[in-house]
Chains A and B, each alone.
Chain A
Amino acid sequence: AQTVTQSQPEMSVQEAETVTLSCTYDTSENNYYLFWYKQPPSRQMILVIRQEAYKQQNATENRFSVNFQKAAKSFSLKISDSQLGDTAMYFCAFRHTLYSGGGADGLTFGKGTHLIIQP
C-alpha cells in the first residue's frame, strides 16, 4: 500500500516570505496523481495544486508551485509571497489512476502541515 509522509507538523513564516512544505511518498506504481490540499478552519478541503506523475513539468498555480522529483518520490509545495489567508492545514495526497493496476482506491493523505503566516 502507498504511504505519504509530511515531516513538518507545523511551520511559521512572516507574511510575504516564501515557504516550502515537504512531502514524500512510497509506491510501486508508475502512473499516479499527487495533490496538495488546503484545509482552513472552515474545514473544507480546497485543492491547491495537482500533478500527474507522467508529466515531467512541475505544476504551478499562481503563487503555488511544486517540485516533483519522481525518482526520489518527493513532492514539495512552494508558496511564494505568503499571505495571511494562506494560514491553514496543508495535506499532501496520492492517488493511483484507474488504469494503473493499482486499483481504484481513494486518496491517501499525509498527516498534514499546519502553516501559520505571521503578520
Chain B
Amino acid sequence: KAGVTQTPRYLIKTRGQQVTLSCSPISGHRSVSWYQQTPGQGLQFLFEYFSETQRNKGNFPGRFSGRQFSNSRSEMNVSTLELGDSALYLCASSLRDGANYGYTFGSGTRLTVV
C-alpha cells in the first residue's frame, strides 16, 4: 500500500512569506504528526492530529499551525517565514496511537527560506 506522501519535496520561500505543506497518511491511518528537523536543534515535535482534532502541540510559536481534514490528510502552515524556519519538515502517520501502533514517516519537505 502507498506510504506517507508529503508534498512538495522541496520549497524555496522568501522571508516574510507564508507556506503550506501537505501530508497524506497511509490509508486507514487517523493520526498525523509533524516534526521539524534542523542541524542545530535536531528533530522537534510540532503537533499531532487525530480525527481532525489537534491532540497536542510542541513548543513552537503561533506562526506554526496545522489542520487535519476528514480524510485524515493534514496540512501545516508557517506564516511570516524567518530564515530559521529553513528545515526538513517530516510528517508521520499512525493507525491511532503512534506509541502502540507505530509511526510511519514520509520523506519530508525541504523548506529553504531566503
Contact = CB atoms under 8 A, between A and B. Distances in A.
Interface of A: 32-33, 37, 42-47, 50, 91, 93, 95-98, 103-112
B38 to A, nearest CB: 11
Kindly name the residue among A93, A97, A103, A106 whose own CB sees the greatest number of chain B CB atoms within 10 A. A106
Nearest to B107: A44
Contacts of A110: 42
Interface stretch (B13-21, B71-79, B94-102): B94-102
Kindly name the residue among A43, A50, A95, A112 whose own CB sees the greatest number of chain B CB atoms within 10 A. A43
Interface of B: 33, 35, 42-48, 55-56, 58, 88, 90, 92, 97-100, 102-108, 110
Contact of A103 (B56, B100, B104): B56
17 contacts: A32-B99, A33-B99, A37-B105, A43-B108, A44-B105, A44-B108, A47-B102, A47-B103, A47-B104, A93-B43, A105-B45, A105-B58, A106-B33, A106-B46, A106-B98, A107-B92, A109-B35
